[in-house]
Amino acid sequence: MLSGNLLWVLSGTMLLGIAAGITGTFSFLQKQSLVGDAAAHAALPGIALAFLITGQKELPFLMLGAGITSALSVYCIQWIVSFSKMKADAAIGLVLTVFFGVGVVFLTVVNRSPLGNQSGLNNFIFGKAATMTKADLMWLFISATIIILVSLFLYKEWKLLIFDPVYAKGIGLPIEALKATLTILIVMTIVTGIQAVGVILMSALLIIPAASAKLWTKKLSTMLILSAAIGGIAGITGTFISAIRTGLSTGPIIVLVAAAIFFISYFISPAGQISKYRRKIQFRKQGDVG
């Protein structure tokens, strides 16, 4: 059952989940979760364009293309928000759908070309971890490790940036550079994950673990560890389930596992509904006595 390749894929998606859990926490705290969603959708035109230009399905090229268009979409959102009276939500929605539309246009062109039919680029929409080769996994390992290491290295600076940007600026931290690094790492996480999870559901891996972890703790360090753990568990369980039955995309199952963890946390965590309900009843009792 546990063939050598599956073991590799499992550890790959686990590492991906951990990386996404960490960068997702930072983007969650900056209230940038949906920007991640837009950036993930915007990877599609990059992939298709890279394929059209190079004519081959070498992962480094595709990842580079995806990274460029994702970063461009984030930049576009910031540009629209600062240069027009448009609100952030409209800017995100607009950029997301337009980039995705451009991606679909390019993808149609790719599918029409003689090479395109076998290119398997359509797998990028929902992800197919099982089809990943050793070389693909190598890239995943490398970039996930880089993401995790850089996040740990910049932990203190980002913490300050998120919770007290004015003070951070006061003590001379390069705010803009730090923000840019965070954006780059988030884009990197997305690009790393799209092959396994797909462009549409990649954002879930950034948002759900962080949102679940937030229900359990108020401390950043604990939240990061929890979020990474939840991401890792979702990655490994989801891949395992999808490997058992053929024909299932990996992405949706990973997301559903993460969502299950979220909704369980929503009810049983300290900040969750059940303990809230208990507290309410307790208050009511105290009220009766007094």
Partner 1 sequence: MIEFWVVFTGLLVGVTCGIAGVFLILRRMSMIADAISHTVLFGIVMAYIITQSLNGFWMLVGAAFAGILTAYLVQLLHSSGIQEDAAIGVVFTSLFAAGVLLITLFAGNVHLDVEHVLMGEIAFVPWDKWTLLGLAMPKAVWMLLLVLVINITFLLLFFKEMKLATFDPVYAASIGIPVVFLHYGFMTSISFTTVAAFDSVGAILVVAMLIGPAATSYLISKTIKQMFVYSMLFGAAASVIGYYLAKLWDTSIAGMMATTVGFLFIITLISQKIIERRRKALVHKLEMP
Q: Select from 239, 220, 289 the least CA-distant residue to 26.
A: 220
Query: What is the secondary structure of 94-145 as a DSSP string?
Result: HHHHHHHHHHHHHHHHHHHSTTGGGT-TTHHHH--GGG--HHHHHHHHHHHH
Q: Kindly state the smallest distance separating residue 155's Cβ from partner 1, in Å.
A: 21
Interactions with partner 1, residue window 259-288 (CB under 8 A):
259, 262, 266, 271, 273, 276
Residues contacting partner 1: total by CB under 8 A = 60
Interface segment toward partner 1; rule CB under 8 A; list 56-64, 176-184, 199-207, 280-288: 199-207
53 binds partner 1 (CB under 8 A): no
Q: Which stretch binds partner 1 (CB under 8 A): 81-89, 165-173, 183-191, 279-287?
A: 81-89
Query: Which C-beta is closer to partner 1: that of 137 or that of 258?
Result: 258
Residues 156-185 that bind partner 1 (CB under 8 A): none
Is-contact 42 95, C-beta < 8 A?
Answer: yes
**Closest distance between partner 1 and the C-beta of residue 94, in Å?**
5
Shortest distance, CB of residue 91 to partner 1, whole angstroms? 8
Q: Taking the mean position of all CA atoms in its chain, how far away is CA 235?
A: 12
Question: Which string of DSSP letters, residue by residue, matches 263-289?
Answer: HHHHHHSTTSHHHHHHHHHHHHHHHHH
Q: What is the 3-state secondary structure (H, E, C) of 1-36?
A: CCCHHHHHHHHHHHHHHHHHHHHHHHHHHCCCHHHH
> Of residues 9, 39, 77, 125, which one binds partner 1 by CB under 8 A?
125
Selected from 18, 22, 42, 207, the binder of partner 1 by CB under 8 A is: 207
Which region, judged by CB under 8 A, interacts with partner 1, from 15-23, 50-58, 64-72, 209-217?
209-217
CB-wise, 8 or 32, nearer to partner 1?
A: 32
C-alpha closest to that of 143 among 106, 186, 102: 186
Q: How far, in Å, CA of 202 to CA of 4, rounded?
A: 26
Q: Cβ(26)–Cβ(223) under 8 Å?
A: no
- Our finding on whether 37 is near partner 1 (CB under 8 A) is yes
Q: Dig out the tokens for 44 from the structure.
A: 């599609």
Give the three-class secondary structure for 290.
coil
Could you tell me the smallest distance in angstroms from the CB atom of residue 150 to partner 1?
23
Q: Which of 108, 113, 117, 133 touches partner 1 (CB under 8 A)?
A: 108
Per CB under 8 A, does 122 bind partner 1? yes
The residues of the shown chain that bind partner 1, judged by CB under 8 A, are 28, 31-34, 37, 80, 83-87, 89-94, 96-105, 107-109, 112, 122, 125-126, 200-201, 203-204, 207-208, 210-211, 214-215, 247-249, 251-253, 255-256, 258-259, 262, 266, 271, 273, 276
